[in-house]
Amino acid sequence: MDLDCGTDAHGCGRAGRDGRAGVRILVFQMQRMGDLILSFPLFLWLGRAYPGAAIRVVGEPGFFGPLSVLGPTVDYVGWDGGDRVAAQEYDMVINLSHRPEAAELAGKAAAPRKAGLVMEEGGVLRMHGDWQLYRASLVRNNRHNRFHWADLNALDVIPLAMIAATRWDAPRQLERHDGRVGVFLGASQPEKRPDAAFWGTLARELARRGLKPVLLGGPAERELGREVKRLCGGAALEYCGRLGLAELAKVLQTFHLLITPDTGPMHLAAWTGCRVLNLSMGPVNPWETGPYQPGHFVLRGAVSCRGCWECSRSPMPCRAAFDPARVAYAAWRMVRGESQRLAGTGLSGMDLFQVGRDGRGVYRLEAVSGRPPLAEEALGRFWSEMFGHFFGVGDMSRPHKAWEELARSLPRLAAAFARTLPRLGGFLRAGISGRGDFSDESFWAGFPPFVRPLTGYLHIFLQNGDFSRQAGRTCLERVSQVAQATSGTSD
């Protein structure tokens, strides 16, 4: 994908942290296709930050084989060759995988700088990097997270200025008007995608508006594809299980739009410039894994519980909120180049967002239609700014301003928050002095949801620091910083 590093494109690189040329970087990305594609921005930034660097990526051959020609130039190695590459010396090792063998290999590789999960001597697992530790704290606790995986992949090792300066191409607007629209049916879990009846109605509605839907999916979606084609009465072409990744990448370039759940092919489409309408449903958070490049669209159910880690309700409210006729209407406007006319329209029961960037230059979902729940929006923004301040991305004025907006709009929530912080501080002091135990997970989960982004992070920070007194004191400093941000001054 063509892009520009910004106005200082030729001056944003450097030879390496010690000034040497020929920097050697090892990256472990042993997850699925979508995870690999969301690592492409990191690979690109590493190449710009360290011109001439040798960047080696250990991954799954089934994914990097067909995708390597589409991403930044790096040297891919299958995970079965990991021991060989880990035996060499590097300037930097980055582990983006949660597989235990990746942590073991990251520990074996000699490097002065590491990021991600590393197995140290004695089999001890240690997370390196503030942002990687923050990401680990999101397990079962990501309700208010507002940092995208692609940004989190990079923030420990790439200057924010370089991330913010990157200018991605806008999604492609095809000149011809044949109305071809891709509809990707599958997802990693059934609850993350619509059912066959929804897809069938959507295909009929698209065809009624003069569009030509093409049903797509992998081998696992063959039966689903046949059922959807039957339900739509032949209104769509069906190619489930017929295209490899390389072929899919080419076919995507012929579509005006891809309508898709959160899945690997969605990220492939976004990376290669095919406009995406992401139907975000089920236990997914599009702030983390939505289409990354600006200009794509995300549709969510207008329910307060959306973006959960794991749903306990049946039927899922966020899935039930989607209406195929209204989705078809939104898609029709996008294909016609009239997405601006969706602002304020009645996509009843759904909220439409467009991918953009915030004032710091990191990922943001900007509301187009609908009104996001106030508490969700306010808390998400506050914690995004607070953790940004913790890790050097913005001064105290940013979380303080976010807090003022929250307190003005949600005074009862702000009052409850203010009552909770002293209790958290007292709990930490008791644990540091040996009068309490914060090693159990009930520590972070026992606090109200609005403060769990902090307690979840503090808990994993303590674990990573072996529950030492110094780790406890650092946690108290974080609580003090939050108290400062939520007080009457940001000085």
pLDDT > 50? residue 177:
yes
Q: Is the domain of 163 the same as that of 184?
A: no
What per-residue confidence (pLDDT) applies to 188? 87
Q: Is the domain of 404 the same as that of 432?
A: yes
Does residue 175 lie in a domain region? no
Give the Cα separation of 146 and 288 in Å (integer): 7
What per-residue confidence (pLDDT) applies to 21? 58
Which has the higher per-residue pLDDT, 303 or 150? 150
Q: pLDDT band for 16, please (50, 70, 90 cuts).
A: very low
Q: Is the domain of 346 the same as that of 462?
A: no
Does residue 217 lie in a domain region? yes
Give the Cα separation of 292 and 264 in Å (integer): 12
Do 271 and 342 touch, CB atoms closer than 8 A?
A: no
Q: Is the domain of 361 the same as that of 430?
A: no
The pLDDT tens digits for 94-135 are: 999 999 999 999 999 999 999 999 999 999 999 999 999 999
Most confident by average pLDDT, 65-74, 199-208, 335-344: 199-208
Q: Is the domain of 90 the same as that of 233?
A: no
What per-residue confidence (pLDDT) applies to 374? 79
Does residue 73 lie in a domain region? yes
Strand 125-128 and strand 114-119: the pairing is antiparallel
Q: Is the domain of 21 the same as that of 145?
A: yes
pLDDT > 60? residue 222:
yes
Q: Is the domain of 217 the same as that of 330?
A: yes
Q: Is the domain of 14 the same as that of 149?
A: yes
List the single range of 29-33, 93-97, 258-262 with lowest mean pLDDT. Answer: 29-33
The CATH number covering residue 113 comes to 3.40.50.2000
What per-residue confidence (pLDDT) applies to 462? 95
Percent of the chain with pLDDT over 70: 94
The pLDDT tens digits for 426-442 are: 989 988 887 777 777 78
Do 198 and 321 touch, CB atoms closer than 8 A?
A: no
What per-residue confidence (pLDDT) applies to 13? 33
The pLDDT tens digits for 370-395 are: 776 778 889 999 999 999 999 999 89
List the single range of 18-32, 222-236, 338-352 with lowest mean pLDDT. Answer: 18-32
Domain that holds residue 313: 180-371
Does residue 390 lie in a domain region? no
pLDDT > 90? residue 55:
yes
What per-residue confidence (pLDDT) applies to 491? 52
Three state DSSP letters for the chain:
CCEECCCCCCCCCCCCCCCCCCCEEEEECCCCHHHHHCCHHHHHHHHHHCCCCEEEEEECHHHHHHHCCCCCCCEEEEHHHHHHHHCCECCEEEECCCCHHHHHHHHHCECCCEEEEEECHHHCEEEECHHHHHHHCCCCCCCCCCCCHHHHHHCCCCCHHHHHHCEECCCCCCCCCCCEEEEECCCCCHHHCCCHHHHHHHHHHHHHCCCEEEEECCHHHHHHHHHHHHHCCCCCEECCCCCCHHHHHHHHCCCCEEEECCCHHHHHHHHHCCCEEEEECCCCCHHHHCCCCCCCEEEEECCCCCCCCCCCCCCCHHHHCCCHHHHHHHHHHHHCCCHHHHCCCCCCCEEEEEEEECCCCCEEEEEEECCCCHHHHHHHHHHHHHHHHHCCCCCCHHHHHHHHHHHHHCHHHHHHHHHHHHHHHHHHHHHHCCCCCCCCCHHHHCCCHHHHHHHHHHHHHHHHCCCCHHHHHHHHHHHHHHHHHCCCCCC
What per-residue confidence (pLDDT) applies to 49? 97
Does residue 227 lie in a domain region? yes
pLDDT > 50? residue 29:
yes
pLDDT > 60? residue 17:
no
Domain termination residue (choose one: 137, 167, 197): 167
Q: Is the domain of 22 the same as that of 155?
A: yes
The pLDDT tens digits for 184-201 are: 999 888 888 999 999 999
Does residue 387 lie in a domain region? no
Average pLDDT of the chain to the nearest whole number: 91
Q: Is the domain of 118 the same as that of 242?
A: no
Does residue 407 lie in a domain region? yes
The pLDDT tens digits for 295-340 are: 999 999 888 778 777 777 778 787 888 999 999 999 999 999 999 9
Does residue 384 lie in a domain region? no
Q: Is the domain of 26 the same as that of 66?
A: yes
pLDDT > 50? residue 20:
no
**What are 206's two structure tokens?**
């698209």
Q: What is the mean pLDDT of residues 352-377?
A: 90
Domain termination residue (choose one: 337, 354, 371): 371
Number of domains in the chain: 3
List the single range of 146-160, 212-226, 432-446, 464-478 with lowest mean pLDDT. Answer: 432-446
What per-residue confidence (pLDDT) applies to 85? 93
Give the Cα separation of 394 and 402 in Å (integer): 12
What per-residue confidence (pLDDT) applies to 203? 98
Q: pLDDT band for 30, please (50, 70, 90 cuts).
A: confident
Q: Is the domain of 286 the same as that of 349?
A: yes
Domain termination residue (choose one: 142, 167, 192): 167
What per-residue confidence (pLDDT) applies to 369? 87
What per-residue confidence (pLDDT) applies to 490? 52
